[in-house]
Structures are given as C-alpha cells and as structure tokens.
Structure 1
Amino acid sequence: MPTDAPPPRAEPAAAHDALPIRLTMDDSDSPSDVVDALFLGRFANGEQPYSRSTSIDRVRSGATLLPEAATVLRSARDDDRSALLAEGDGWTLLVSRWNRGADVTVTAVDDALAEEVLRQSVDGAEDEPEPQPENVTMGFWYVSPRRGPHRTTRQISAGTWEEIRPNYTAPVADAMDRLMKVTPDDISGRLLLLHGPPGTGKTSALRTLARSWRDWCQVDCVLDPERLFNDVGYLMDIAIGEDEGTAKGRWRLLLLEDCDELIRGEARHTAGQALSRLLNLTDGLLGQGRNVLVGVTTNEDLERLHPAVVRPGRCLARIEVGSLTRGEAVSWLGTEQGVGRDGATLAELFALRRGTGPASVLPHPATGADAGLYL
C-alpha cells in the first residue's frame, strides 16, 4: 500500500557551493591584488579550510619569510607594497610586505599544519626594535601679548628611567618604578603631585616620564601657571587642547612647575578661584570628556598642602622627592668627600662632582617608606 513517506532530505551544500566566490577585476587592480585573490581560492573552496596569520612590525634584513620546501607561485611589487604567493605540501602562504613590516597568512589542510608553517615562516624574522631617541617632543604654553594663548614645541633631552633611577632615594625610586609603567588603563586619578625641597630632581623625573609615556601621552608645560587659572579664556584654550597628530584617545599631561601658592593650605584665600579651577580640570565638569592629566611640582611640605588637593582618589601619584641618604649619596658620588651625615640632594651631588664648591647640606624630612609615597 502506498504510504505517505516524507521526502528524502537534501544533503547540505558544501560551503563553497553555498557561498560561491566570484571575483571581478579591471585595469584599476594591481598585480598585488591578483596575488591576494589567488591566495583566497583554496580557502574559499574548502580545499584548505584552516588559516593562521601574524604581523611583524620590523622584518630583519635578508629574511624571506618562506618556510623550507616552499615553491613560489607569484611575486608582485608595487611602489609601496610587495606580495608573494607560495605553496607546499598541503598549505599555501601569502606574504604582504611594506617598508619594514609584513603580514604573513597561511592556509592549510589542518590547523596544526597551518600553525607550524606560520612558525617556520616567521621564526627569527623579527628585527630588534630601533633604539629610542634620547629626545622627546614637549609643548610649551604661554600667553603672547600679540597672539594670546600660544603653544610651541621643542625637543627636550631626557634619559631613560634606568639611567636616572640612582638619582633618587630608594622609596622615591620604588614609587617612580610604578609611575613610569602606567598606561591609560591604569589611570584612576588625574593629578600627579611631586613635592619636596629644591634640587632633588623633580623636573628631571618629569622629563623622563614624558619619554616613558610618549607612545600614549602628549606632554605640555605651562610657563605661566599663575595666569592660567585666573584667565578663563586661557584655561579653556588649554583644556580644549592642541593635539599633535590624529591619534584618537591620546592623553595629555599638563605640567605646572613650582605652584606653591596655588596648592598650599591657605590657597582658597590667597588664590581666589584658581585652586577651584585646577581641581575642576582634574575631576570636575571642565575635565569631563577630555583625557587630561595635570602634573604639579612644589617645594611645599605635604602638611602645608591644601587637603582638597591631596584627598584620596584625586591623585594618580603623590610622591615626596627628598635627598639621598648618606649611604646612597656616597654610592652615587663614589667618595665620602663633601657628603654630610644627613646625605645630600641631587643638585649638591652634581656640584660636588663638578668641583664647583662644597655642598651645603641641610637637614631634611624623613624619607622612609611612609613619607608621603603612594601610587
């Protein structure tokens, strides 16, 4: 008897049948474009369904980026790019190169083979990174009598942190270790405060910080900070900023040096609205939507600073930069000659090294682990 049997199920279409590939080329396409299209063929039709890829920023001179037993199928070179197509047993390789960089992509019959061919292609091919230049670009803001708020740039020499680390007493160096490694993801406060006696190396530390952060942060020094927070137009120009390049999300660090009167305890009475505007730039409405940090140096003791400036959560770092201990100073100088029992500041040590006269060593606050250091 006839039965109402269900119709036979159709076999699922293969990926290359369900998603047919059609490439159209005209005279605007380059030979490199043809190489790219040819490379996709075996991956598109399912013959080599596995793919691995990587990028190299600096390819070592002489590196071919080809594994052993590779057969070159196509090679194309344009003005600013070259493309190389090669194959081996069960795999296909595409190498796209520009300047010193390269993209390497492999397709293969299985994932393990793709990974192994890619490893052979790039093994030892990456060059050592270029040494970082000693100079860093820094901006300088000031009010010009003719042009109003104006920014200029210049190259500033700055050593690496490893080079200048011995210039700081141990607790300061430990705090600076963490500060130099800060990235945008680590930012939890917008104010960076370095305080301590003159000649202890606060400005040198900031120059090196500009070098350490230059990949993600533009550093500007305000030459007339006392005017900045008393001139709303000037403040708005700086808050809006003048960015170098077009990197989206790049941070800016505004440096204000020797701002004793602005942030000491009685600043509310002596500086009027200036302190309020500084705080508003760090975590108020003025700073909202702007990736702005404010770095302040002062010779004031921590106890004399306004409590609103040093409250928890406002400071990314608050570091008291003091003199080196006697042992650290003797180690730095290489001799005990001229070093007092209380140690010496960095400026005094440089004076001793140059032989420009005896250092005048004064008593200084304690520099223990709890002497106002935290990140």
Structure 2
Amino acid sequence: MGIIERRGEIMNLLHGSGGVLGNMHFTLDGSDDPSNVLNLMALDAYVSGAQPHAVVRALDMVADDVDLIPEGGSLVRSISGASFLQLVTGDDWTLRTQRWRDGSGQAVVTAVTRERAEEIAAYLTDRTGSVEEVGEDKVDMGFWYRSARGPFRSTRSISAPRWPEIERNYSSSAGSALGKLMATQASDVAGRLVLFHGPPGTGKTTALRALAREWAPWCQVDTVLDPEAFFADPSYLMEVIIGSEMDLVLDADLNPDEPRRGHWRLMVLEDCDELIRGEAKEASGQSLARLLNLTDGLLGQGREIMVAITTNERLDRLHPAVVRPGRCLAQIEVGALSALESSDWLGGDPVREPMTLAELYARRGGTDPTTTEAPIPQQQIGQYL
C-alpha cells in the first residue's frame, strides 16, 4: 500500500514495549491494485492478535474446478487474472488462497489456535495434489524449477526400484561401487558430491532413482530441472537451500509421530556436462565456483546437503577441482557391460562386444540397434504417377 498507519503501535512493538496491533488504517495510491487490499484484509485478524497463529502451505496440482472453501467459510473477496485469489473467513479462522495457471498455488491460514489453522490447511492439501499414494515401489521426489514468480518446488511420487532388483544391469566394477553407495548411511557421509559419469544409455538415472529409495529413511532427494539457472542466479540458489530446510523442519513439527527422514538432502543435477567439464570456469563464469562452494565451501557449512551430478563426459575431461580427492562421496563410472556380462544378461545369447543397458533392452525387445538391416533392393525408375 502507499502508506500504512497503525497508530504508532508498530514502533512500540519494535522497541519491545508490546502493544496491540489492530484497526489497521491504510491509504491507497495509483500503484495499488485489488490484490493489495485482499492481502491486507487477510492479515487483519493476525495483526490485531485475534488470530495469532498462521500456517503457510504450497499447493500442488490445483484443478481449476476444485473448491477451496472449507465448511463454514464465507467468500469475502475474489480476484481473477494472471492468478485466482480468494479471501474466505470462518468463525475463528481466515484463509487466503492463490492459484496460478500452471496448477500450483499457495494458502495462508490464520486462526485462534495452531490446531485450528492446521485443520484448515489440511483440508486444502487433501483437495489438491496428486491422488496417487506412495506405494512400496515408489518414493517421493521434489522437482525444483524457476517459474515466472520465482523458484518453485513440486513433489511427485516416482517409480524407484530396489538396488538388488537392478544390480545385474551394471558392470561388475560399477555394480560394486554403486552397491557401497546404496548402503551409505548418514553417519558415513564424508564428501558432499556424488558423480556418475559414462556414455548415454548406461543406467545413470535408474541408479539415482534406486538411490532415492535406498536413502529415503534419512535423505530427501530433489531434482533441479534447470541447473544452469540454479547456479547462475544466487537468489534461486539460496531460496532452494533455505526453503528446503524450512520444509523439512516444518514437516517434522507437523508430523511428530511419523518417522523423521532426517536433515540430509541430495540435490540431483542431470546431464551437467557444461558445468563441470575442464573449460567450465571460462564457459559458465561463477556457476562452477558456486557448485564447489555448495559442496564444501562456506555456502555448504552447517548444512547437511549433497549434490549428485550425472554427465556423459569422460573423467579426464572434467574440471580437476570437481574430481579432486576428498570432494566426492562417490565417483562412479557407469559404463557398458562387457561382452560376457551382456551375454549373461541376455540369458546366454552370444555377444561379441560390450553393450550399454539401453542396447541390451533394445535387443531383448527385438529392436537391436547393432543389427544391420539388409539394404532395400534398387528399383528401376518408372514413369510419373
């Protein structure tokens, strides 16, 4: 708003002398719009102290036709535009909801008690998001991206195999290293960087999904969909780091009876060749420096956070600072299976040379990319049709 007056009570509060904040007075100028008014009205009971407890929730996958008015609530204001806002009040609570065109949203609830605020918030989260429940073969994974209004995190339940189910998909050397990584516990973490390198089609992403499931009891795994923007924009980077920490703390407070996942987080960055190859410092400016700072620099101090990177580059083409001793918790080459391992994977079919996992699945499915098809017979040129 242009000027907000609260009868001098804000200054008293800032100086620690207490006071009651209520009966807000404000003036409007040409820069204000209806959303400013709605936002102030939503906070009136909170400012006055009538509803001293507030809960903020991010909403995921909000359908256009979903009703976000809890039982007993009355719609006070609504705004339609780039987003849809509603102000709803009940006997002892106030709710402001906002939904954007991409299906995401936010809810701010104030109430006379924390329990009442959580009850209203739970009503909203139950009516939004995916209806799919996490099964035994799935794990919750977060997905970060920068939207038009800033960093946003969406949660999805993804299919994730157990490591013993897919171990034979990897060569003996890669399988041994991956097995040790899968068995890692929070107390075993030394380095903060997990690096999977190798040619396309060797199963790096599948291994990460299995890792998310094996580490689920103590580590939250999030994927950054736009890693270039993530490291190029300090505000995006800090929002993800601090925002994720707050989500974990809030989840622990709201669900004290559920097993805690722990404070560790793993940020997954896929196909980041440009970020970590030898000439990355010149090509991507400060992005490489911020990555290294996050893993073991000042930015990473005091935070239980790891970074997992997949790349198609060979190890000798990566920046020396990335692969130096002590930085990596695991540095694993995920390559093709040998001819003998490939033959065993196919159930004894003869194989003459190493094959990637993608090639093995293609061959088993009848679309072997290594098979050369017979050329099409040459046809004589006829008359025009």
TM-score by length of 2: 0.57
Alpha-carbon distance in structure 2 between the residues aligned to 1:248 and 1:317: 22
| 2:361 aligned partner, one-letter code | F
| 1:213 aligned partner, one-letter code | W
Residue in 2 that maps onto 1:275: 288
Residue in 2 that maps onto 1:317: 330
Asked if the contact 2:197/2:313 (under 8 Å) is kept, the reply is: yes
* Secondary structure of residue in 2 paired with 1:347: helix
| 1:215 aligned partner, one-letter code | P
Alpha-carbon distance in structure 2 between the residues aligned to 1:358 and 1:286: 46
Alpha-carbon distance in structure 2 between the residues aligned to 1:360 and 1:234: 47
Alignment partner of 1:184 out of 183, 186, 196: 186
Residue in 2 that maps onto 1:354: 365
**Aligned counterparts, 1:99-248, within 5 A:** 133-145=136-148, 147-242=149-244, 243-244=247-248, 245-246=251-252, 247=260
Shift of 1:336: 2.6
| 1:329 aligned partner, one-letter code | S
Alignment gaps of 5+ in structure 2: 1-134, 253-259, 373-385
Residue in 2 that maps onto 1:13: none
Residue in 1 that maps onto 2:300: 287
Shift of 1:240: 1.4
* Secondary structure of residue in 2 paired with 1:318: strand
Asked if the contact 2:217/2:261 (under 8 Å) is kept, the reply is: no
Asked if the contact 1:239/1:281 (under 8 Å) is kept, the reply is: no
Return the index of the structure with the highest Cα Rg: 1
Shift of 1:357: 3.7
| 1:312 aligned partner, one-letter code | P
Cα distance 1:214–1:360, how it changes in 2: closer, same or farther (>3 A)?
farther
Cα deviations by residue, 1:95-137 (Å, 9 ceiling, x for unpaired): xxxxxxxxxxxxxxxxxxxxxxxxxxxxxxxxxxxxx810000
* Secondary structure of residue in 2 paired with 1:286: coil
Residue in 1 that maps onto 2:321: 308
Alpha-carbon distance in structure 1 between the residues aligned to 2:219 and 2:262: 9
Shift of 1:248: 8.1
Alignment gaps of 5+ in structure 1: 1-131, 362-375
Structure 1 vs Structure 2: percent identity of aligned residues?
Answer: 60
Shift of 1:304: 0.3
Structure 1 residue runs of 4+, over 6 Å off?
A: none
Output the aligned Cα RMSD. Answer: 1.8
* Secondary structure of residue in 2 paired with 1:215: coil
Shift of 1:360: 6.9
Asked if the contact 2:216/2:261 (under 8 Å) is kept, the reply is: no
Shift of 1:177: 1.2
Total equivalences in the alignment: 228
**Aligned counterparts, 1:16-31, within 5 A:** none
TM-score by length of 1: 0.59
